[in-house]
Amino acid sequence: MVPPGKIKVAAVSDTHGKYYPINPVDLLLVAGDVTNYGGLGEFLKFRAHLLKWRLYIPKIILVPGNHDMMFQEDEGYTRALLDDLLIDEEYTYKGFKFYGHPWTVEFGKWAFMDNVVLDTKAAMIPEGLDVLISHGPPFGLLDKTNSGWNAGDEYLRDAINIKKPRYHVFGHIHEAAGQHVEDGYHAMNVAQFPHYFTLEER
């Protein structure tokens, strides 16, 4: 039993149609790319995964990623079937503040990729967040590809420096999975590898 003012959290991203067993927690954060191409069949398959998790996880917050095409093309339908889908919006759970930011640097015709809007989307991130959930990483942090280049978002990095969220959960760059802690900022690239942490009141 977690004492009042604390919740156990799991976070994962880039499951790409696979079911990942998650240990029992109070809250699961899913940071995008739950499908490969985002069609209806893949979406419904992911929803079945959610129903399995909900048998023992009371709350799940989802932010879509660039592979999750249907979440952008038919947001109304996906919202009708999913609870707590965060797209450029804030959500409070048990007194903790979360924000979902699905946007990533453009490298093709995928969902939530538009370099023209990256600055305005990053500027929308509010201050005072306990957890920022983005699909992609900030530039220069857990964002290095196998080719050796940094694939993160410079506007997202700048927003983090200004808004200062306590925790930042993301994925997108599979090979850069890991954690980084600095000056009260705890970053986690959770691509294809669930991470666990305890969120405590300030």
Identify the CATH number of the domain in which residue 18 sits: 3.60.21.10
The Cα 83–Cα 62 span in angstroms is 8
Nearest to 128 by CA among 97, 94, 102: 97
Q: Is residue 75 part of a domain?
A: yes
Q: Is residue 1 part of a domain?
A: no
| Residue 7 CB contacts under 8 Å (≥ 6 apart), including other chains | 25, 26, 27, 93, 94, 96, 198, 199
Number of structural domains the chain divides into: 1
Nearest to 32 by CA among 58, 53, 11, 8: 11
Specify the pLDDT at position 81: 87
Q: Is residue 194 part of a domain?
A: yes
Task: Identify the domain containing residue 89 by its residue range.
Answer: 7-200
Per residue of the chain (202 residues), give pLDDT as tens.
456 789 999 999 999 999 999 999 999 999 999 999 999 999 999 999 999 999 999 999 999 999 999 999 999 999 998 888 999 999 999 999 999 999 999 998 999 999 999 999 999 999 999 999 999 999 999 999 999 999 999 999 999 999 999 999 999 999 999 999 999 999 999 999 999 999 999 8
Q: Which residue has the tokens 């959770």?
A: 190
Specify the pLDDT at position 2: 54
Q: Is residue 141 part of a domain?
A: yes
Q: Which residue has the tokens 């592979």?
A: 67
User: How deeply is 196 buried, as exposed, middle or buried, from its count of CB atoms within 10 A (0-12, 13-18, 19+)?
Assistant: middle
Q: Is residue 2 part of a domain?
A: no
Nearest to 131 by CA among 57, 195, 48: 195
**pTM summary value:** 0.96
Q: Is residue 54 part of a domain?
A: yes
> Integer distance in angstroms from the first to the last C-alpha of the chain?
20
Backbone angles phi, psi at 165, to 5 degrees: -65, 155
Q: Is residue 16 part of a domain?
A: yes
Q: Is residue 88 part of a domain?
A: yes
